[in-house]
Chain A
Amino acid sequence: MLQAPVLIAVSLLYLGLLFAVAWWGDRRADRGRSLIDSPTIYALSMAVYCTTWTFYGSVGRAAVSGIGFLPVYLGPTLVMALGWFILLKMIRIVKANRITSIADFISSRYGKSHLLGGLVTIIAVVGIVPYIALQLKAVSSTVGLLLSYPDIVMPHRSPTMPVAVDISFYIALILAAFTIVFGTRHLDATERHEGMVAAIALESGVKLVAFIAVGVFVTYGMYDGFGDIFEHLATHPELQRLASAIPSGQGYTGWFSLIVLSALAVLFLPRQFQVAVVENVNESHLRRAAWLFPLYLLLINIFVLPIALGGLMHFSGQGVDADTFVLTLPMSQRQEGLALLVFIGGLSAGTGMVIVETIALSTMVCNDLVMPLLLRHRGLALAESKDLSGLLLGIRRGAIVLILLLGYFYFRLAGEAYALVAIGLISFAAVAQFAPAIIGGMYWRGGTRGGALAGLLAGFVVWGYTLLLPSFAKSGWLPGDFLTQGLFGIDLLRPQQLFGLSGIDEISHCLFWSFLANIGAYVGVSLLRPPMVAEATQATVFVDALQETGPIGAVLWRGRAKVSDLQELVGRFLGPARAEVAFAGYARRHGGRHGDRLEADARLVQFAESLLAGAIGSASARVMVASVAKEEPLSIDEVMHILDEASQLRTYSRELERKSRELTAATLELREANERLQELDRVKDDIMSSVTHELRTPLTSIRAFSELLRDDPKMHLPDRERFLGLIVSETERLTRLINQTLDLAKIESGRADWNACELDLKEVIEQSVAATSQLFREKEAHVALDLPDNLPLILGDRDRLIQVMLNLLSNAAKFLPAGSGRVCVVLRLLADGLQVRVTDNGPGIRPQDQELIFEKFRQVGDTMTAKPAGTGLGLPISRRIVEYLGGRLWVESVPGEGATFLFTLPFAPQHEPAVGQQEQAAQGGRRG
């Protein structure tokens, strides 16, 4: 199943699936129901970090340097811990200023400079195109490997192969088509591509699954787990150093450098900037993605070393390239399905990187390289044409095709050369040169355009001299003397022992010298002169990005412009229809109904400029807006004055916010207090009305029976006695009710008399049970007691506790079934007191009623059929008493299976169990 037609069909089907997902994602975005609005998808899209260099290359590097492949993933893990701060700030800046690429970011920060944007674009293209070539190489060489199945033959490219029969050429073209369709569908003012992100997230999922599948197959299928692989290693002494130590060629310095380098790369690689910053849907996703993304990196690395070691042992001496182990190990075991899955995983890793990187680079090339040139040289002609949006899209599409073809031809040219194999880290080192200008720009107001230019240029030159050119020399494209004897034979200029610095690996060497030059020039030149107006303005916009205030740029614009001019200008680049919609939306948000009533104030100019910035980059947008507006230049003093005022305003408004927050809190407290008072009032009224109601019921029946007796003197004696008996029992109930109401009122108001003394709870219970025995006898119920002896004493009021027990027992008696009733009274010792349980086998209490029964006058049950059998005050009083004594009273019940009333009481202070026993022992000792 690994023949060419199957491979092609599967690849095309897979790319078709990606197309479908991307199309669906775009459709959902158009309808406002974003498909990618989830932190997990955001984290998966960040995993575009893992290219074929990870998918196939990690195993290759592990086969040479053991755990030396790991720092490239540890650096991103560390930087993501700070992602919540650095990335958040970048996202805020990008959204506020409609920045669309890393070149635009740097250019915008240092006064919207064309020169800087162009320089960053060139560095990015030079650094990244070989990396794209590497992806094409990986995809095409895996195709070659699979086609030779069932043999395992390292594919050999003939440099003279015609382009027309080269499969990687077609791969490049298909990728260009995909990128064009989803990267440049229309000119968006924010340059976001939801469909593309959805497809990338899917690819990240696929490559992870594929890699783990191979890992599990090798570790648990070919070997018997991790331990087994490392055990087999004992028979291969030459491999043992791979598993045990930091590689000697790299050392701790190299290890550290790689962590730093990858930490910077994960922030500043154009593709990472694109997915993590530009494509961010919701900044709160950052919170979860900050640990999900490192988790992804961890998962994709667990099996790297086992696969590498397994491959080295399995293919020992067969000349199989370690970079292909991920694919060749399943092939050697005749696992065709798994091999196909790996191929798809590798395809995902390669295409994902190429698509995102190409979109990011094409945006840069268009906005920061081509547009400025067009605007400068053909400025007049451009200004005259009505609609340039087509031209802009054309430039971007052209850039995409060009970049991919560049990648393809570099791959053809380089082939197996060292320059291509080592490009991963060389690329990282190139984009790391952006770090000082970006990080400095976000946190330091003093950085200037000159400083950034000097720093970038110096860093780029040193990078090229110490890392890129040596890689050319090692590939045989430059004379080897260059490496060993230095430029012009000057010993001090040897590129990888610059000025005699030796003893560290080439990456650390490059990182040290390039950062020294870069940071040194950036800071040094920045300090030469104070920032100019535009630099100072943008410094404030960037450094204060996390402080929530209005757009600062609007404050710093003074001049005159016409609304129609601005709208026409925006229309030329975005298309007249989109411009119309954007201006109408602005008008709606700012009060006016019609576009023509809009005032061309500083805010509107700012709005138009940011719309343009999304399409053509901030530097070109600035130039274009300046061309239609009459602007009055501000002096640096005025700017600083305005900025100072703005920052003072911010301080005042913060103070104001704090005050208003306090006020809100105070209001809330007042309202709560008021609500409490009203509640208390309502409770009082309720009690009054229920008390009078409860009193009226017995009074009414007493009166009714008395009247019957009075009005019918001839009543028979038995009736007369029955009525009199009822009157007496109702009177008793009335008395009880009044007593209990008074009692409860006393307890609640704290005026009750308490005779607290140490007492034995067992005795209290026995007394109460004896007092109620008549009740149970009437119902023919059985009472079981479980009261252990010698329990510690508790502190309480004997009469009140008897009242509680009588309440619980008579309550139980009330609900017992006639004839078969059982009541169980249990006394237990707990850690901090005693617990009493009174269990009956009555009908039980529904869960929703279990708290209600402790409210005053609440008698649950069917009041329509059953006459309430108590006063409704017994349980509330009992609870008050127990709580007063420091305990707790509650009920546990399953309806239909009876109810258990439980209460706990704490020990008397001197009768904690341990102490009590000691005392007893001491007394016993004296007695003996």
Chain B
Amino acid sequence: MQRRILGRDRLIATFLAGCVLFNYPLLSVFDRPSEIFDIPMIFAYIFFAWILVIALMAWASEARSG
């Protein structure tokens, strides 16, 4: 029971984190004409954040140890 609640809380936290990562104002911090690894900053940032959110979701849904 405890474990299920923990998994649920992790998913909700991931959702909230995603909402912040994908929106203004955090987005505007990276919205500038500079490059990272030869890739425009905003492009790299969004994909990085996206991978992070998916990884967190996978962890929250698959982790059994609680």
Q: CB within 8 Å of B: which residues of A?
A: 67, 70-71, 74, 77-78, 80-82, 84-85, 226-227, 230-231, 240, 243-246, 252, 255-256, 259, 287-288, 290-291, 294-295, 298, 302, 305
Contacts and interface: CB of A to CB of B under 8 A. Distances in A.
Nearest to A294: B54
A287 B37 CA distance: 34
29 contacts: A71-B22, A74-B18, A77-B18, A78-B15, A81-B18, A82-B11, A82-B12, A226-B39, A230-B35, A230-B38, A230-B40, A231-B38, A243-B40, A244-B31, A244-B32, A245-B31, A245-B33, A246-B27, A252-B27, A255-B23, A259-B23, A287-B62, A288-B61, A291-B54, A291-B61, A294-B53, A294-B54, A298-B47, A305-B43
B11 A81 contact: yes
B41 A84 contact: no
A244 B33 contact: yes
Given A230-B35, A255-B23, A298-B51, A81 B62 contact: no
Nearest to A243: B40
Interface of B: 8, 11-12, 14-15, 18-19, 22-24, 27-28, 31-33, 35, 37-43, 46-47, 50-51, 53-54, 57-58, 61-62
A283 to B, nearest CB: 13
Contact of B50 (A85, A245, A298, A305): A298
Secondary structure dominating the interface of B: helix
Nearest to B15: A81
Given A74-B22, A78-B18, 14 more contacts: A74-B50, A80-B57, A230-B39, A244-B31, A245-B31, A245-B32, A246-B31, A252-B23, A255-B27, A287-B62, A288-B62, A290-B61, A291-B57, A305-B43
A246 B29 CA distance: 12
Contacts of B8: 84-85
B45 to A, nearest CB: 10
A82 B46 contact: no
Contacts of A294: 50, 53-54, 57
A227 B37 contact: yes
Given A227-B39, A244-B41, A246-B42, A84 B61 contact: yes
A247 to B, nearest CB: 11
A256 B57 contact: no
- Interface-centre pick from B11, B42, B57 (highest chain A CB count, 10 A): B57
B40 to A, nearest CB: 4
B15 A82 contact: yes
Nearest to A73: B50
A259 B23 CA distance: 9
A687 B31 CA distance: 77
Nearest to A292: B58
Contact of A252 (B24, B35, B43, B54): B24
A854 B47 CA distance: 57
Contacts of B57: 80-81, 290-291, 294
Contact of B54 (A82, A227, A295, A305): A295
Contacts of A74: 18, 22, 46, 50
Nearest to A78: B18
A895 B8 CA distance: 51
Contacts of B62: 287-288
- Interface-centre pick from A71, A227, A291, A302 (highest chain B CB count, 10 A): A291
Nearest to B38: A227
Contacts of A85: 8, 11
Contacts of B33: 240, 244-245
B61 A244 contact: no
A256 B21 CA distance: 12
Contact of B46 (A70, A244, A288): A70
A244 B40 contact: yes
